[in-house]
Structure 1
Amino acid sequence: MAIEVNGKTIETDEEGYLVNLNEWNEDAAKILAAQDDLELTESHWEVINFLREYYDEYQIAPAVRVLTKAIGKKLGPEKGNSKYLYELFPYGPAKQACRFAGLPKPTGCV
């Protein structure tokens, strides 16, 4: 599978995760979100950018509990809860947000 981003083909696996993380850009994220009928807002970008920083630091995509806790620490308790994150990413905050962020599927996610 693949997505078309600015005339460039970016390979994705069968679940829509990017095969090559270095090919990610904001336009790719918008296209992946559009596939899920979502338009990315500033709140989405906060989580996406947080995930990308987390991945750079730890070389792993966080599972949802870790994500929720870490977001709470960085962005405040009103954002560090699963209700808020599920409103942004209805298909699962860790799984869906990591896909939009161009990261591999988080461990512990089915």
Structure 2
Amino acid sequence: MRFPNPNKFNRLVSIERRNAVQEESYGSPQVVGWDELAKVYASIATVDGREYVVPGLNQNVPLATHRITFRWPGFRVKPKDRIGYEGRSFNITRVDNVEEANRFIQVLATELPV
């Protein structure tokens, strides 16, 4: 695999990680949110799109898969993380460290329906 062209990194995205769930003294969990780990410039390309039917709702829901590529942010990006871009959220399903060189990260992510 060749290294990606960084000149195409024209979208400022945020890498986010879910807060740890901690129980309060009364046994109820705290509200879980997302922490922004870093903002990086990336390229976003759609690689697949489809619709699926949600049981009970009788409506089609779009599901798009995107390839998001960016420079190594200095920490390990995990499949439990997500990418945020202009109010959109992408759940990471796969993380590739391009050529294991710690220079570029390429993720496959599904966009969450609004």
TM range (shorter): under 0.3
Higher-Rg structure is 2
Structure richer in strand, relative to its length: 2
- Using the size of structure 1 for normalisation, the TM-score is 0.27
